[in-house]
Amino acid sequence: MPYEQTFVDNGNHTPERFTLLNNYPNPFNSSTTISYNLATTARVSIEVYNLLGRQVTTLICEEQQPGSHQVAWNAGDIPSGVYFYRIHAGNIAETKKMLLLK
């Protein structure tokens, strides 16, 4: 009889590498969610910038454990336009674009 392997999914998955996902929804009206995955413990900061490169807000600035994370941005008092969110996680930095439509 051939040997069969069985895998059990216990829901505890540590990502193999850092990934920054696109915010959802995008475009958005007043609030959006930014998701990202950490492979190792890291000091994480996420800032939002306008088209002129001015920082609008800091969404998070703390040490986080490996795994999947998300943060919501409520832009209720911010004008419509193109914005950029930038994440720093340890020595990694990545930026993505989002569109706020009111």
Identify the pLDDT of residue 13: 67
Average predicted confidence (pLDDT) for the chain: 89
CA neighbor of 83 nearest in space, from 51, 45, 59, 58: 51
For 11-34, the pLDDT digits (tens) are 556 778 899 999 999 999 999 999
Q: Which domain holds residue 67?
A: 19-100
13-22, 56-65, 84-93: segment of lowest average pLDDT: 13-22
Asked if residue 8 belongs to a domain, the reply is no
Asked if residue 61 belongs to a domain, the reply is yes
Asked if residue 55 belongs to a domain, the reply is yes
Number of domains into which the chain is organized? 1
Asked if residue 6 belongs to a domain, the reply is no
pLDDT at 41 over 50: yes
Taking residues 56-82, what's their average pLDDT?
95
Identify the pLDDT of residue 72: 96
Instruction: Give all strands (DSSP E) within 29-91, no chain letters.
Output: 31-38, 42-50, 55-64, 67-74, 81-89
Asked if residue 90 belongs to a domain, the reply is yes
4-8, 15-19, 26-30, 61-65: segment of lowest average pLDDT: 4-8
Identify the pLDDT of residue 1: 47
| CATH number where 94 lies | 2.60.40.1930
Asked if residue 67 belongs to a domain, the reply is yes
Angle at 79 between CA 92 and CA 53, to 5 degrees: 35
